[in-house]
Amino acid sequence: MASRECVVQAEIKFCGLTRPEDAERAASLGASYVGVIFAGGPRNLTPERAAAVLAAVPREVQRVGVFADQTAHDIAEVANRLGLDVVQLHGGSNATRIDAIRAQFGGKIWPVCRVAEPPLPAEVTELIELADGLVLDSYVRGTLGGTGVTMPWSALSEDVDRIRPNIRRFVLAGGLRPENVVQAITTLAPHVVDVSSGVESAPGIKDHDRMRAFHDAVAASDQL
Protein backbone atom coordinates (compact mmCIF):
# COMPACT_ATOMS: atom_id res chain seq x y z
CA MET A 1 0.00 0.00 0.00
CA ALA A 2 2.85 2.38 0.73
CA SER A 3 3.98 2.25 -2.89
CA ARG A 4 0.52 3.34 -4.06
CA GLU A 5 0.54 6.34 -1.76
CA CYS A 6 3.55 7.66 -3.66
CA VAL A 7 1.56 7.96 -6.87
CA VAL A 8 0.21 11.47 -7.44
CA GLN A 9 -2.98 12.23 -9.35
CA ALA A 10 -3.11 10.18 -12.52
CA GLU A 11 -2.33 11.94 -15.77
CA ILE A 12 -4.71 11.58 -18.70
CA LYS A 13 -4.06 10.30 -22.20
CA PHE A 14 -6.84 10.79 -24.72
CA CYS A 15 -6.11 8.29 -27.47
CA GLY A 16 -7.54 7.35 -30.86
CA LEU A 17 -7.93 10.98 -31.88
CA THR A 18 -9.07 11.49 -35.47
CA ARG A 19 -10.22 15.12 -35.54
CA PRO A 20 -8.32 18.35 -34.76
CA GLU A 21 -11.19 19.64 -32.62
CA ASP A 22 -10.94 16.57 -30.38
CA ALA A 23 -7.19 17.03 -29.97
CA GLU A 24 -7.78 20.68 -29.08
CA ARG A 25 -10.40 19.64 -26.53
CA ALA A 26 -7.98 17.15 -24.98
CA ALA A 27 -5.34 19.85 -24.63
CA SER A 28 -7.82 22.35 -23.17
CA LEU A 29 -8.76 19.79 -20.50
CA GLY A 30 -5.14 19.53 -19.42
CA ALA A 31 -4.35 16.12 -20.88
CA SER A 32 -0.72 15.16 -20.50
CA TYR A 33 -0.79 12.96 -23.61
CA VAL A 34 -2.72 12.77 -26.87
CA GLY A 35 -2.59 9.66 -29.01
CA VAL A 36 -3.00 8.89 -32.70
CA ILE A 37 -3.29 5.40 -34.15
CA PHE A 38 -1.18 3.78 -36.86
CA ALA A 39 -2.09 0.23 -35.87
CA GLY A 40 -5.21 -0.32 -37.98
CA GLY A 41 -8.85 -0.30 -36.97
CA PRO A 42 -11.51 2.42 -37.24
CA ARG A 43 -9.27 5.11 -35.70
CA ASN A 44 -6.28 4.48 -37.98
CA LEU A 45 -4.71 7.57 -39.54
CA THR A 46 -2.23 8.30 -42.28
CA PRO A 47 0.80 10.32 -41.16
CA GLU A 48 -0.60 13.26 -43.11
CA ARG A 49 -3.92 13.13 -41.32
CA ALA A 50 -2.21 12.65 -37.96
CA ALA A 51 -0.17 15.80 -38.57
CA ALA A 52 -3.38 17.74 -39.16
CA VAL A 53 -4.99 16.33 -36.02
CA LEU A 54 -1.98 17.23 -33.87
CA ALA A 55 -1.25 20.62 -35.43
CA ALA A 56 -3.03 22.72 -32.80
CA VAL A 57 -1.82 20.74 -29.77
CA PRO A 58 0.60 22.74 -27.59
CA ARG A 59 4.10 21.33 -27.39
CA GLU A 60 3.83 20.73 -23.64
CA VAL A 61 1.25 18.04 -24.38
CA GLN A 62 3.11 14.88 -25.31
CA ARG A 63 2.23 13.23 -28.61
CA VAL A 64 1.93 9.44 -28.67
CA GLY A 65 1.87 7.30 -31.80
CA VAL A 66 0.36 3.83 -31.48
CA PHE A 67 1.94 1.25 -33.77
CA ALA A 68 1.44 -2.45 -34.47
CA ASP A 69 3.98 -4.64 -36.28
CA GLN A 70 5.62 -2.07 -38.54
CA THR A 71 9.39 -2.24 -38.93
CA ALA A 72 11.59 -0.21 -36.62
CA HIS A 73 12.57 1.94 -39.61
CA ASP A 74 8.97 2.69 -40.55
CA ILE A 75 8.01 3.46 -36.93
CA ALA A 76 10.95 5.82 -36.47
CA GLU A 77 10.30 7.52 -39.80
CA VAL A 78 6.70 8.37 -38.85
CA ALA A 79 7.60 9.27 -35.26
CA ASN A 80 10.39 11.63 -36.29
CA ARG A 81 8.35 13.18 -39.09
CA LEU A 82 5.50 14.02 -36.72
CA GLY A 83 7.68 15.00 -33.76
CA LEU A 84 6.19 12.30 -31.56
CA ASP A 85 7.31 12.13 -27.95
CA VAL A 86 6.29 8.52 -27.38
CA VAL A 87 6.04 5.37 -29.50
CA GLN A 88 3.50 2.90 -28.12
CA LEU A 89 4.02 -0.66 -29.35
CA HIS A 90 0.93 -2.84 -29.64
CA GLY A 91 2.79 -5.39 -31.71
CA GLY A 92 5.44 -7.76 -30.46
CA SER A 93 8.03 -6.18 -28.18
CA ASN A 94 11.44 -7.51 -27.21
CA ALA A 95 14.96 -6.23 -26.65
CA THR A 96 15.92 -6.46 -30.32
CA ARG A 97 12.92 -4.48 -31.52
CA ILE A 98 13.14 -1.83 -28.81
CA ASP A 99 16.87 -1.36 -29.43
CA ALA A 100 16.27 -1.03 -33.17
CA ILE A 101 13.69 1.71 -32.61
CA ARG A 102 15.92 3.52 -30.09
CA ALA A 103 18.72 3.62 -32.64
CA GLN A 104 16.52 5.76 -34.89
CA PHE A 105 14.16 7.57 -32.50
CA GLY A 106 15.09 9.67 -29.50
CA GLY A 107 11.76 9.68 -27.70
CA LYS A 108 10.16 7.30 -25.24
CA ILE A 109 9.04 3.75 -25.97
CA TRP A 110 6.02 2.19 -24.28
CA PRO A 111 5.40 -1.50 -25.03
CA VAL A 112 1.90 -2.80 -24.44
CA CYS A 113 1.07 -5.87 -22.38
CA ARG A 114 -2.41 -7.16 -23.15
CA VAL A 115 -4.01 -8.98 -20.23
CA ALA A 116 -7.19 -11.06 -19.93
CA GLU A 117 -6.58 -12.39 -16.42
CA PRO A 118 -3.70 -12.80 -13.95
CA PRO A 119 -0.88 -13.52 -13.76
CA LEU A 120 0.92 -10.92 -15.84
CA PRO A 121 3.03 -12.51 -18.60
CA ALA A 122 6.60 -13.37 -17.67
CA GLU A 123 8.00 -11.05 -20.36
CA VAL A 124 6.71 -8.01 -18.45
CA THR A 125 9.80 -8.09 -16.24
CA GLU A 126 12.10 -7.72 -19.26
CA LEU A 127 9.94 -5.07 -20.90
CA ILE A 128 9.92 -2.74 -17.90
CA GLU A 129 13.72 -2.94 -17.74
CA LEU A 130 14.05 -2.01 -21.42
CA ALA A 131 11.33 0.57 -21.89
CA ASP A 132 10.32 4.00 -20.63
CA GLY A 133 6.89 2.85 -19.55
CA LEU A 134 4.48 -0.06 -19.69
CA VAL A 135 0.90 -0.01 -20.95
CA LEU A 136 -1.49 -2.59 -19.54
CA ASP A 137 -4.41 -3.09 -21.90
CA SER A 138 -7.22 -5.62 -22.08
CA TYR A 139 -6.73 -8.67 -24.25
CA VAL A 140 -9.52 -9.27 -26.74
CA ARG A 141 -8.85 -11.86 -29.44
CA GLY A 142 -8.47 -10.38 -32.91
CA THR A 143 -8.05 -6.75 -31.84
CA LEU A 144 -5.23 -4.51 -30.62
CA GLY A 145 -7.29 -2.21 -28.43
CA GLY A 146 -10.15 0.27 -28.39
CA THR A 147 -12.67 -2.44 -27.53
CA GLY A 148 -14.15 -0.92 -24.38
CA VAL A 149 -13.40 -4.13 -22.45
CA THR A 150 -11.88 -3.84 -18.98
CA MET A 151 -9.47 -6.19 -17.28
CA PRO A 152 -9.87 -7.65 -13.75
CA TRP A 153 -8.22 -4.80 -11.86
CA SER A 154 -8.55 -6.25 -8.36
CA ALA A 155 -7.21 -9.63 -9.41
CA LEU A 156 -4.18 -7.95 -10.98
CA SER A 157 -3.38 -5.62 -8.08
CA GLU A 158 -0.81 -7.87 -6.39
CA ASP A 159 1.04 -8.44 -9.66
CA VAL A 160 1.06 -4.72 -10.37
CA ASP A 161 2.30 -3.88 -6.87
CA ARG A 162 5.14 -6.35 -7.34
CA ILE A 163 6.46 -4.70 -10.50
CA ARG A 164 5.47 -1.11 -9.74
CA PRO A 165 8.84 -0.01 -8.24
CA ASN A 166 10.56 -0.80 -11.54
CA ILE A 167 8.04 0.82 -13.92
CA ARG A 168 9.07 4.29 -15.08
CA ARG A 169 5.54 5.06 -16.29
CA PHE A 170 2.61 2.77 -15.60
CA VAL A 171 -0.15 3.40 -18.12
CA LEU A 172 -3.54 1.76 -17.66
CA ALA A 173 -5.81 1.29 -20.68
CA GLY A 174 -8.70 -0.98 -21.57
CA GLY A 175 -12.34 -0.08 -21.12
CA LEU A 176 -11.82 3.06 -19.07
CA ARG A 177 -14.68 5.57 -19.04
CA PRO A 178 -15.97 8.33 -16.76
CA GLU A 179 -18.10 5.86 -14.82
CA ASN A 180 -15.27 3.49 -13.82
CA VAL A 181 -11.99 5.40 -13.95
CA VAL A 182 -12.08 6.26 -10.23
CA GLN A 183 -12.33 2.56 -9.38
CA ALA A 184 -9.44 1.78 -11.72
CA ILE A 185 -7.26 4.46 -10.15
CA THR A 186 -8.00 3.49 -6.56
CA THR A 187 -7.37 -0.19 -7.35
CA LEU A 188 -4.18 -0.01 -9.43
CA ALA A 189 -2.87 3.57 -8.98
CA PRO A 190 -1.50 4.07 -12.50
CA HIS A 191 0.61 7.06 -13.43
CA VAL A 192 -1.48 7.53 -16.59
CA VAL A 193 -5.06 6.57 -17.49
CA ASP A 194 -5.53 6.00 -21.23
CA VAL A 195 -9.02 6.43 -22.68
CA SER A 196 -10.35 6.07 -26.21
CA SER A 197 -13.71 4.38 -26.81
CA GLY A 198 -14.94 5.35 -23.34
CA VAL A 199 -15.33 8.99 -24.37
CA GLU A 200 -16.71 8.45 -27.88
CA SER A 201 -20.08 8.82 -29.56
CA ALA A 202 -18.80 6.63 -32.44
CA PRO A 203 -15.42 5.02 -33.19
CA GLY A 204 -12.89 7.84 -33.52
CA ILE A 205 -15.46 10.58 -32.76
CA LYS A 206 -14.90 11.98 -29.30
CA ASP A 207 -17.81 13.25 -27.22
CA HIS A 208 -16.60 16.46 -25.62
CA ASP A 209 -18.98 16.17 -22.69
CA ARG A 210 -17.69 12.70 -21.91
CA MET A 211 -14.11 13.94 -22.22
CA ARG A 212 -14.91 16.56 -19.61
CA ALA A 213 -16.62 13.97 -17.40
CA PHE A 214 -13.56 11.73 -17.63
CA HIS A 215 -11.27 14.60 -16.69
CA ASP A 216 -13.49 15.53 -13.75
CA ALA A 217 -13.62 11.94 -12.50
CA VAL A 218 -9.82 11.67 -12.59
CA ALA A 219 -9.50 14.96 -10.73
CA ALA A 220 -12.00 13.78 -8.12
CA SER A 221 -10.00 10.60 -7.53
CA ASP A 222 -7.25 12.72 -6.03
CA GLN A 223 -9.59 13.67 -3.20
CA LEU A 224 -10.29 10.07 -2.11
Of 183, 128, 130, 196, residue with least CA distance to 159: 128
pLDDT tens digits along 79-117: 999 999 999 999 888 999 999 999 999 999 999 999 989
Element (H, E) at 75: helix 72-82
Domains (range + CATH), the chain:
2-221 (3.20.20.70)
pLDDT tens digits along 171-193: 999 999 999 999 999 999 999 99
**Whether the predicted model's global pTM rises above the 0.85 cut:** yes
pLDDT tens digits along 42-75: 999 999 999 999 998 999 999 999 999 999 999 9
Asked whether 135 and 171 are in contact (CB, 8 A), the reply is: yes
